[in-house]
Amino acid sequence: MVVEEVSGHLFQSYVICKRQVWLMAHKLVPDQENKYIELGRAIDENSYERDKKKILLDNIELDLIRSDEGDVVIGEIKKSSKALSSARLQLGYYLYRLKQKGVKAKGVLLVPKEKKKEEIILTDELEREIVSVLNDIYQIIQNPRPDKAVKSQYCKSCAYLEFCWA
């Protein structure tokens, strides 16, 4: 597996649940009628309508892109600030991928329901963390089976719930 095959969703899931990383990477589809997936779609479709949205870069999907005084700014829209650490890593990965393609950009995490906005810059420290996580994701994906399910605060709203606890 090469970096172009790793999606931002894998990066976000890495912080939340490594089992989910394996399930996603192996194309196991979560419950598409999960109310949290549906809510996320609605927020994504109805927020920041003036900005360009859903820009595809290889296999990553940028929620929005805009220009701010000559700077490229990419945005990641989230339904809540509950899992911002995973969202920061996901957005950092997007910035890393853009940097590899010669595009210098800034990132912004947006939580429209909470009117929150957080700027993300690809620092050397964040880049080292991304490379480390990328290597760990490769290891997880290469396993013949997912890790055992481990209960966490995210399980009750996870669209993969039935893959772990059914």
pLDDT tens, residue by residue, 101-130: 999 999 999 998 899 999 999 999 999 999
| Residue partners of 31: CB distance under 8 A and separation at least 6 | 37, 159, 160, 161, 162
Domain boundary assignment for the chain: 3-165
Identify any residues that bridge with 119 across adjacent strands, giving them in sequence order.
108
By the 8 A CB rule, do 88 and 104 touch? no
pTM above 0.75, yes or no: yes
Rounded Cα distance between 94 and 56, Å, is 11
By CB atoms closer than 10 A (0-12, 13-18, 19+), residue 125 is exposed
Between residues 156 and 53, the one the model is more confident about: 156
From CA 95, how far away is CA 138, in angstroms rounded? 19
Predicted local distance difference test score (pLDDT) of residue 92: 96
Phi–psi pair at 86, nearest 5 degrees: -70, -35
pLDDT at 102: 92
Structurally, at CATH architecture level, domain 3-165 sits in Alpha-Beta Complex (3.90)
The dihedrals phi and psi of 131, each to the nearest 5 degrees, come to: -65, -40
Q: 142, 26 in Cβ contact below 8 A?
A: no
Beta strand 71-77 with 52-57 is unpaired
pLDDT at res. 71 = 85
